[in-house]
Amino acid sequence: MKNVKDFDKKEAIFQAMLELISKHGFHSSPMSEVAKQADVAAGTIYHYFKSKDELICALYVRLKEKYIENLFLTDDQNKPFKERFRHFYLQMIIEAQKNPKEFYFLEQFSNSPFISTIPKAEITRLDQPVYDFLRKAVFTQILRDIPPKILVAFVMGSANAIIKLQLSGEFQMTSSDLELAFFTCWDGIKKI
């Protein structure tokens, strides 16, 4: 029973931190407010995390793992790669629409000095499923032979730009617009 309570408390702490960061940013989210929002004693947070920075980094790892897992949750390896890539690309957009706070947190973290506090091996581990997915298609000559870092940056950057456009409310994308975005990305990476 203790493990369930511990999980619930830790989850409440993560959710409180995510909520506060989404409203106030990294630096204006004190641990006292996290404790209050999570409905736990301030000392309880320090039972799980040595510092606020450690909590923020743990939240990043947790959300990134969840995000990547959700991208591949319904991947069908028996389908042609183009269809699998379409699903992957559109799933990035769907995940962000369902979880905008998580999307913005991951973006903010990735573009902050916090990213340098995560060991490179951990970053590699988190991103590996995406690299493997795309690298296999390069190896089988479905995708152009683009250096992996550039390929991942191009695909993720394309999806993230679409996500930001949609989440901003500046442009409400129809299913036709999303298909156009997919085909535009696909045409940029497929082997001709």
Architecture of the domain whose range is 1-49: Orthogonal Bundle (1.10)
What phi, psi does 143 have (nearest 5°)? -105, 155
Supply 116's token pair: 């340098």
Token pair 């369902």 is found at: 98
CATH of domain 56-189: 1.10.357.10
- How do the domains of the chain map onto residue ranges? 1-49, 56-189
* Sign of the CA dihedral with 106 first, then 111, 172, and 151 last: negative
Cα 182–Cα 173–Cα 166 angle in degrees, nearest 5:
95
What confidence category does residue 6 fall into, taking pLDDT thresholds of 50, 70 and 90? low
Q: At 190, phi and psi to the nearest 5?
A: -70, 150
User: Using one digit for the tens of pLDDT, what is the confidence trace for 35-92?
Assistant: 999 999 989 999 999 999 999 999 999 999 999 999 999 999 999 999 999 999 999 9
Alpha helices in 25-119 (DSSP H): 31-38, 42-48, 52-72, 81-98, 100-110
Residue 79 pLDDT: 97
pTM of the model: 0.91
Q: Are the C-beta atoms of 58 and 103 separated by less than 8 Å?
A: no
Task: For Cα atoms 59, 12, 27, give the angle at the middle one, nearest 5 degrees.
Answer: 50
Q: Which of 188, 110, 181 shows the shortest CA–CA distance to 151?
A: 188
DSSP state for residue 59 in the 8-state scheme: H
Q: pLDDT tens, 91-131?
A: 999 999 999 999 999 999 999 999 999 999 999 999 999 99
Confidence bin at 4 (pLDDT 50/70/90): very low
